[in-house]
Structure 1
C-alpha cells in the first residue's frame, strides 16, 4: 500500500479515526528535504503494511491540519495512535532512522 494523500477535509477520518497507527508527513512540492524522504516513506509504507499507515499532507494546499499541529517547518512527521500524537520528528532522516523511529513509537 502506497502512501495516502490526506487533506484538511479527510484528516480526521484518515488519521485520527484510523484503526492502525498513522505516520503523517507534512510536506510541500518546493521542499528539497521533503522530496529526499519521500521514496523512503513509500518503501516503508510497503514494508510495514498492516502495521502502520503512512499519509502525506501538502501544507500549501491544506494549511489547517499543520496549523492545528503547530507545524513550523517541514518535513514534519507525526505518529498518531488511537487518534493521539505519540511522537514527532522534524527534518529529513535516512530510511533506517525513520524505520527505527516508527517501530519504537508504535
Structure 2
C-alpha cells in the first residue's frame, strides 16, 4: 500500500485501470490503454493493476466492477467509473486534471 500512496501522490494525473486477466476483452483493453498513454505522453501516467494479484488494494478501494478506472492527482481521487470506456473519453477525462 505504501507504493500505491507514492504512485497516486503525483502532481500529474494518474489513470489507473483495475482489471483481471480473465476479462473477455483484456487484449483490446490493453491496446486501448497503450493508445491513451501514447496520446497523453508525459503529461499523465497510465497504470494497469491486476485485481487478482492485488486483492488487498482492490478490497481497500472497494473495486467491484471490472474494469474500474480511477484518476488520481496529488493523492486525491478525482474521478472513478466502472465499465468499459473508449480511448477518447479516457483521454478527455485525464486532460481535465492537467
1:105 CA drift (Å): 4.2
Q: Which residue of structure 1 lines up, in the alignment, with residue 5 of structure 2? A: 12
Distance 1:34 1:101 in 2: 21
Equivalent residue for 2:69, pick from 77, 81, 94: 77
Offset, 1:59: 0.5
Q: Any idea what the Cα deviations from partners look like across 1:13-72, whole Å, max 9, x if unmatched?
A: 222x32321011100100124443221111111221221101111000111111111111
TM-score w.r.t. the length of structure 2 is: 0.86
Report the secondary structure of 1:49's partner residue: helix
Q: Does 1:60 align with 2:47?
A: no
TM superposition score normalised by structure 1:
0.80
Partner secondary structure for residue 48 of structure 1: helix
Q: Match of 1:28? A: 20
- What are the ranges of 5 or more consecutive residues in structure 1 without an aligned counterpart? 1-7
Aligned residues, how many? 98
1:50 to 42, 49, 53: 42
Q: Is contact 1:37-1:93 (8 Å) kept?
A: no
Partner secondary structure for residue 32 of structure 1: coil
RMSD across aligned C-alpha pairs, in angstroms?
Answer: 1.7
Gaps of 5+ in 2: none
1:38 aligned counterpart, secondary structure:
helix
